[in-house]
Amino acid sequence: MTIATFPPEPKPEQGWGRYFGFCTDAKVIGIQYIVTAFFFFLIGGLLAMVIRGELITPQSDLVDRAVYNGIYTMHGTIMLFLFTFPVLNGLNNLLIPTMIGAPDMAFPRLNAVAFWLVPIFGFLLIASFFVPGGPAYSGWWSYPPVSIQNPAGNLINGQGMWITAVALSGVSSIMGAINFVTTILRMRAPGMTFFRMPVFCWTALAAQSLQLIGLPALTGGAIMLLMDLTFGTSFYRAEGGGDPVLYQHFFWFYSHPAVYVIILPVFGIFSELFPVYSRKPLFGYVYVALASFIIVGLGLIVWVHHMFPSGVAQWMRNLFMVTTMLIAVPTGVKVFAWLGTLWGGKLRLTTPMLFCLGGLFNFVFAGITGIMLATVPVDIHVSNTYFVVGHFHYVIYGAAVMGIFAAIYHWFPKFIGRMPYEGLGKLHFLLTFIGANLNFLPMHPLGLMGMPRRVSSYDPEFTFWNVVASLGAFLLGVSIIPFLLNMLSAWIRGPKATHNPWNAIGLEWLLPSPPPEDNFGEDVPTVISRPYGYGLGKPLVEHQDEIERKLELQEASA
Amino acid sequence: MTSSSTRSINATAVAGLSLWVGVMVFISHWMGEQAHRWLPVQASTAAPLVDDLFSFETAIGTFVFLGVVSVMVWVMLFNRAEKYDDTDAFPIEGNTRLEVIWTAIPFVLVMGIAFWTIRASEQLGTLGPMEHIHLRNSVEEVGGYPGDRLPAEQVEVIARQWSWEFRYPGSNVSSTELHLAVNEPVTFRLVSEDVLHGFYIPAFRVKQDVIPGRAIDFNVTPTREGVYRLRDSQFSGTWFAANQSDVVVESAEEHQAWLEQAARSPLQPGLSLAISEYATRQARSNPGWATVPPAHPPQVNVPGSPSQPHQA
Amino acid sequence: MTTTTLQQPGAPAEHEEQPKHNLTGFIIFLCSESVIFLAFFSGYALLKTSALNWLPQGVDGLEWKTPLVNTIVLVSSSGTIALAEHFKNRENMLLFRGFWLMSMAMGAYFLYGQAVEWSGLQFGFTSGTFGGTFYLLTGFHGLHVATGILLMGLMLIKSFIPGNYSGGEQGVQATSLFWHFVDVIWIILFLLIYVWQ
């Protein structure tokens, strides 16, 4: 448990090489996370294209049914465990230390180990495509008994590898969470009280606390699943007296909060970016910050709403419906706060701002379908249909991934030191926004009509909306091209960024772009006011003018 | 948005805002009406309850969505920074009264929806107590039927990978096509022989997972004659998508006649698309990724037709 | 971590200079780890209360007397490790090592007792949910006991490094915290498995 102390690290190399090695600098690890995540994003996206290709016709004709099931399972698993969580951990690594003025994370070596687990379990998951019998095929939920049927009959099988990979992902996430929480609790700059902390750090703290409470439950459930699959125990096997529904409790006790683990940092991103690009303070900072923790509390007691038709009693349905509905209140506080921030501002519709606005638009839509899903009778009709698929893709892609793109465009100049291109960025936004809505909106009528999710073929009456959704998906596939082009060319030959190209307020913008390895080093500025002081004319830190003058001089001489 | 607005501007603003709220109310109401059209035909007593709730939620949701989007569009049109203007806007850090309002209103709203929903659920009463197989209650104890009518019929539903079997113990009939009499309450006893399945009839707006190791009682009253789809709604393996069946709702006389005729028909293999697809698949030199082989199709009196047109 | 000033416990720490991040991180880890046990406990309770035939055929309950002795040994080791920590803080390294070693021995005795019990049972982990949960809970806990003993061994070796007090202090504190955690888990486990039959 003397897991890591501040290691007296040798001077690390500055070139490209450090991105491929065991580096303990949080900023390098952050970029490693994000690049790795996008590598897997492309794989997951390719799988999505196959799924939508299959579903463009009613018959099961593009791929074999078993292949389809494997592909949709891996699409979900890769997108969550290898894209969304790693990309957010990447942002955490970049932003938390720089935003709170820490030189690095609390446990730099643990941090590097947590990252390097990602390619390892990623490899394990991808390798499961090539084992005899194929990969896991029981959905990213892996509900038993389907997930413990093991049709290939081998000891090493896709499902077993899937469980191992997910468990490793859990280990990596727990390591990350311990690190982020400790860093935020103990390494803030002088003067940075909790209520002077940027909202992104609040939401990261909230999200990582959820990881710490929720993930072990999934891990426990997964251990039992693996034992059922491999060693013939019968925790979930009805023949042996087990209960398949027990797994669902374990699974959703984590996997519903997991949605908040994803969306809370995105709320943080919105709360950071709306003030910058509307030149106004965040409306009701304290409420926005505290709402995150109300969401954490409520988020832990809603999981049964995923199981309304799974055989739970009516009183449980009602109870969990009420808790689920209550989440709308703190979420509403945030949404209204963002609108209040925008209202009467001086909006600059840059690429990150467009992604934020688009993300907010999609999120509000997703929130409304979420309320519909919380009400038991409606949920009974649409649960496990495409309505749900549409709903969570609005949340995950429409809101969270859009927010992640916003964050990448916004902080790219800070951590890479070069400016991304606006034209390509706006094209990327346009294609993403149209593609996402074209892809995910038609799923709602499909679900209402009664098309179950996870089907490889469907009745002909569902054809029209499926064709529309598939076309949207292909557009979404194309939308990634301008993004990759933008990132690559900007990284290689984009215009040099100043220390604060967006004229934003925050500790990270008082660092050179890109920041030096130990960030502020010995001279961590003392924070004297709340974040987002746009238009208030109060400096954020002591001697702010001096710091900025020094940075400008550095830039002028470079 | 300066504080120096004159009275007349305020009056215009109030009038404009009221007009716009009126328009939003109108659109929301219209969307609520439209919502019924997005759903399949209503073929059970549960359907109107679900649809009305959904329609109500659509209306409320539309209003909230339009409200938020109106603000977003407004600020994007009228609160843009001028070119080369890099000054800050007038700083407003918050407003406690507003915070209280927009905490209280959503709270009241969602609690209202929750209250409506709990009442609708009570009326629905589709579900018997969640029982394990050893807790079987007699039908009378299950209760919760709309109109306090006892079910005329009990149907045993057996789900397998990948076929549905319906047994009518009173008439000694089994079938892979579900036949029900219109306006007659029916109780299903849902049993699975292998994995989780979902008993889902969209036209009835009912869905219940079928859980191995449990027998779940489930009540429904069909209200409309026709042919509807029954779909497996909980992923059950390779041929999950093909695990569908037809539900035929017919008049009481027709239903009685069907039962009598079915009882006289000889047993034959029931409908199972998975069986034939599995055979073709295994005939290939490389059958591909592993799959659980389909269970033997049940021996039934009436296999039903795979290509019968259905209404929802 | 280059400052080697020795501080009395209770004296205000020279914070910022000597961050106690490790202990913070470790406490967070323990909180998280307890949820995994909570998951197993609730799974056990759920399966047990809903089971038709909880005990496998031919098994009519668990013998609880020997496990009770084991329990007493394990729980008392929480006291000895606290004593060891106390003497370490007094810089009495001899007594520290003595009590530390004693705690290790008691932990090892517990594991031995567990192994004896396991080998004498007539059911395996595939004997229904009872067998599965019994071996899962005791095994997973046993794994923690073994980890604790290893950690204590590590700390014991570290105590021989001269001048390791400042670095080792958090280690000893964390290890004894872990040991208390393992004991508390065992008490709940004992109540669940042996007392609630």
Structural domain contains residue B4:
no
- Among A265, A195, A201, residue whose Cα is nearest residue A406: A265
| The pLDDT value given to residue C164 | 65
- Among B293, B148, B131, residue whose Cα is nearest residue B208: B131
Structural domain contains residue A537:
yes
Positions in chain B short of pLDDT 50: 1-3, 129-149
- Structural domain total, chain C: 1
Residues B169 and B278 in one domain: yes
- Among A539, A416, A330, A342, residue whose Cα is nearest residue A34: A416
Residues B144 and B279 in one domain: yes
Structural domain contains residue C96:
yes
ipTM over 0.85? The verdict is: yes
Letter string b/e over residues B255-264, b meaning 16 or more CB atoms within 10 A of that residue's CB: beebbeebee
A313 vs B120, B130, B290: nearest CB: B130
Q: Is the peptide bond before B298 cis (omega within 30 degrees of 0)?
A: no
- DSSP annotation of B216 reads E
Structural domain contains residue B236:
yes
Query: By CA distance, what is B135's nearest residue in C?
Result: C52
What's A63-79 look like in SS3? CCHHHHHHHHHHHHHHH
| The pLDDT value given to residue C144 | 96
The Cα of C123 is separated from the nearest Cα of chain A by a number of Å equal to 12
Q: What is the rounded distance in angstroms from the CA atom of residue B85 to the CA atom of residue A346?
A: 9
> Which CATH number fits the domain that encloses residue A136?
1.20.210.10
Q: How many residues are present in chain B?
A: 312
| The pLDDT value given to residue C141 | 96
Quickly tell me which residue has 């406490």 as its tokens: C27
Residues B71 and B168 in one domain: no
- Structural domain total, chain A: 2
Structural domain contains residue B92:
no
Give the neighbours of chain C: at least 3 Cβ pairs within 8 Å.
Answer: A, B
pLDDT at C71 over 50: yes
- Contact: C175, A1; criterion CB under 8 Å: yes
Residues B151 and B271 in one domain: yes
Structural domain contains residue B72:
yes
pLDDT in tens, chain A (558 residues): 444 444 444 444 567 778 888 889 999 999 999 999 999 999 999 999 999 999 999 999 999 999 999 999 999 999 999 999 999 999 999 999 999 999 999 999 999 999 999 999 999 999 999 999 999 999 999 999 999 999 988 889 999 999 999 999 999 999 999 999 999 999 999 999 999 999 999 999 999 999 999 999 999 999 999 999 999 899 999 888 889 999 999 999 999 999 999 999 999 999 999 999 999 999 999 999 999 999 999 999 999 999 999 878 888 889 999 999 999 999 999 999 999 999 999 999 999 999 999 999 999 999 999 999 999 999 999 999 999 999 999 999 999 999 999 999 999 999 999 999 999 999 999 999 999 999 999 999 999 999 999 999 999 999 999 999 999 999 999 999 999 999 999 999 999 999 999 999 999 999 999 999 999 988 999 999 999 999 998 999 999 999 999 999 998 887
Question: Phi and psi for A14 in degrees, rounded to 5?
Answer: -100, -15
- Among B225, B216, B55, residue whose Cα is nearest residue B132: B216
Q: Show residues of chain A in contact with C151, CB under 8 Å.
A: 1
Structural domain contains residue B89:
no
Query: By CA distance, what is C53's nearest residue in B?
Result: B134
The Cα of A233 is separated from the nearest Cα of chain C by a number of Å equal to 4
> Which CATH number fits the domain that encloses residue C127?
1.20.120.80
The Cα of C189 is separated from the nearest Cα of chain A by a number of Å equal to 16
Quickly tell me which residue has 């013998």 as its tokens: C63
Q: How many CB pairs under 8 A join A and C?
A: 132
Structural domain contains residue A527:
yes
A250 vs C39, C133, C171: nearest CB: C39
Phi-psi region of B6 (alpha: psi -120 to 50; beta: other; left: phi over 0): beta
Structural domain contains residue C45:
no
Q: Is A95 helix (H, G, I), strand (E, B) or coil?
A: helix
The Cα of C21 is separated from the nearest Cα of chain A by a number of Å equal to 7
| The pLDDT value given to residue C2 | 36
Residues B269 and B292 in one domain: yes
Structural domain contains residue A140:
yes
| The pLDDT value given to residue C159 | 83
A107 vs C21, C52, C130: nearest CB: C21
Query: By CA distance, what is A457's nearest residue in B?
Result: B241
Q: Is A531 helix (H, G, I), strand (E, B) or coil?
A: coil
- Contact: A535, B89; criterion CB under 8 Å: yes
pLDDT at C167 over 80: no
Choosing from A162, A197, A232, the residue where a domain stops is A197
Choosing from A173, A197, A221, the residue where a domain stops is A197
Q: Most C CBs within 10 Å: which of B130, B131, B133, B134, as the mutation test of the C interface? A: B134
Residues B185 and B289 in one domain: yes
- Contact: B289, A70; criterion CB under 8 Å: yes
Structural domain contains residue C5:
no
Query: By CA distance, what is B106's nearest residue in A?
Result: A329
Q: What is the rounded distance in angstroms from the CA atom of residue C103 to the CA atom of residue C110?
A: 11
> Cα dist. A366→A162, A263, A320, A371, B62 in Å?
29, 12, 19, 9, 12
- Among A89, A95, A76, A80, residue whose Cα is nearest residue A35: A89
The Cα of A77 is separated from the nearest Cα of chain B by a number of Å equal to 16
Strands B163-168, B299-300: pairing kind? unpaired
Q: What is the rounded distance in angstroms from the CA atom of residue A272 to the CA atom of residue B231?
A: 46
| The pLDDT value given to residue C166 | 55
| The pLDDT value given to residue A189 | 95
Q: Most C CBs within 10 Å: which of A111, A175, A182, as the mutation test of the C interface? A: A182
- Contact: A5, C22; criterion CB under 8 Å: yes
| The pLDDT value given to residue A43 | 97
Indicate the residue type of C187. Answer: I
Structural domain contains residue B86:
no
Choosing from B85, B106, B124, the residue where a domain stops is B124
Do C26 and A1 contact (CB within 8 A), yes or no? yes
Token pair belonging to C160: 């021989």
Token pair belonging to A302: 């809603």
Quickly tell me which residue has 């293999």 as its tokens: B269
Read off the pLDDT of each residue in C25-51 and give the average, rounded to a whole number: 92
Interface of chain B against chain C, CB under 8 Å? 132-134
Q: Most B CBs within 10 Å: which of C50, C54, C129, as the mutation test of the B interface? A: C50
Structural domain contains residue C44:
no
Q: Show residues of chain A in contact with B91, CB under 8 Å.
A: 280-281, 533-536
Residues B117 and B186 in one domain: no
- Contact: B94, A378; criterion CB under 8 Å: no
Residue A205: CB atoms within 10 Å: 25
Q: What is the rounded distance in angstroms from the CA atom of residue C101 to the CA atom of residue C106?
A: 9
Choosing from A197, A216, A231, the residue where a domain stops is A197
Q: Is B209 helix (H, G, I), strand (E, B) or coil?
A: strand
Measured N-to-C along each axis, helices C165-190 and C65-89 cross at an angle, to the nearest 10 degrees, of 160
| The pLDDT value given to residue B210 | 94
A216 vs C24, C36, C125: nearest CB: C36
B68 vs A339, A344, A536: nearest CB: A339
Structural domain contains residue B309:
no
Q: Is the dihedral of CA C188, C191, C193, C194 positive or negative?
A: positive
Q: What is the pTM of this model?
A: 0.93
Q: Is B231 helix (H, G, I), strand (E, B) or coil?
A: strand
Structural domain contains residue B308:
no
- Whole domain around residue A508: which residue ranges? 500-558
Q: How many residues are present in chain C?
A: 197
- Whole domain around residue C115: which residue ranges? 63-195
- Whole domain around residue B192: which residue ranges? 133-300
Residues B67 and B204 in one domain: no
Residues B203 and B229 in one domain: yes
Tens digits of per-residue pLDDT, C91-141? 888 899 999 999 999 999 999 999 999 998 888 888 888 999 999 999 999
Token pair belonging to B114: 């929750």
The Cα of A171 is separated from the nearest Cα of chain C by a number of Å equal to 11
- Contact: B118, A385; criterion CB under 8 Å: no
Percentages (nearest 5) of helix, strand, coil residues in chain A: 70, 0, 30
Structural domain contains residue A44:
yes
